[in-house]
Amino acid sequence: MSFKQGLLIAIFLFGTGLIIGLVTPASTIDLLFDEISAFEEFADILAPLPQLALFIIIYIRNLSVVLISFAFSPFFCLVPVLTLFSNGLFIGIVSILVLREESIGFLLAGLLPHGILELPALIMAEAVALSFGTSVFQALISKEKRGLVLPNLRKNFKYLVIAAGLLFIAAIIEAFLTPLLLD
């Protein structure tokens, strides 16, 4: 699978999760509310931290998600698929919950400044994981495909580096700018 094919699949999986999250019935969201409120508790723990520490935590968390997904992608691409779908789903559901209590402006102020970089970075990195995982899986079942793994990795590694850079900038924005906008 090429990076472009992986990118299209990644966009589809994220978008599907997002749409399902946005159209999830209120009764189901209410059932999930306890699970989602755990994220609020985590946010409350992080709130008193200095912004530099918050930036480091956000960046390491996002980068580790991408790297773990990449590392485990040869296992039928399950981790990248689940990462993309669940992130879209989570954003959709949290958006609905925020809109219940706040304005669309508040939601956009909380998501757009860093999300405009973080989401493309996530999708790009997961497209690399899908492409790499597919090439490794194909190499395992076909001797003729074994020579394609390293070229695939070399070709797609630059996108992984770009994604890491975008996640770095997004973490800076999320830690330093987003709180100002939400106040």
> Looking at 36-45, 59-68, 106-115, 142-151, which range is the least confident one?
36-45
Looking at the predicted structure, is the pLDDT value of residue 10 above 70? yes
pLDDT tens figures, 130-164: 999 999 999 988 888 888 889 989 989 999 999 99
- What is the model's pLDDT at position 32? 65
Residue that wins the pLDDT comparison between 37 and 180? 180
Band the pLDDT of 42: cuts 50, 70, 90: low
Mean pLDDT, the chain, whole residue set: 88
Looking at the predicted structure, is the pLDDT value of residue 4 above 80? yes
Quote the CA–CA distance of 139 and 109 in Å, as a whole number.
Answer: 45
Task: Provide DSSP, 15-60.
Answer: HHHHHHHHH--HHHHHHHHHHHHHHHHHHHHHTTS-HHHHHHHHHH
pTM for the full predicted model: 0.85
Quote the CA–CA distance of 47 and 66 in Å, as a whole number.
Answer: 24
| Best mean pLDDT range from 4-13, 88-97, 104-113, 136-145 | 4-13
Residue closest to 25 by CA, chosen among 100, 96, 104, 101: 96
Looking at the predicted structure, is the pLDDT value of residue 26 above 90? no
Looking at the predicted structure, is the pLDDT value of residue 124 above 90? yes
Looking at the predicted structure, is the pLDDT value of residue 43 above 90? no
Buried b or exposed e, range 86-125, using 16+ CB within 10 angstroms: ebbbbbbbbbbbbeeeeeeeebebbbebbbebbbebbbbb
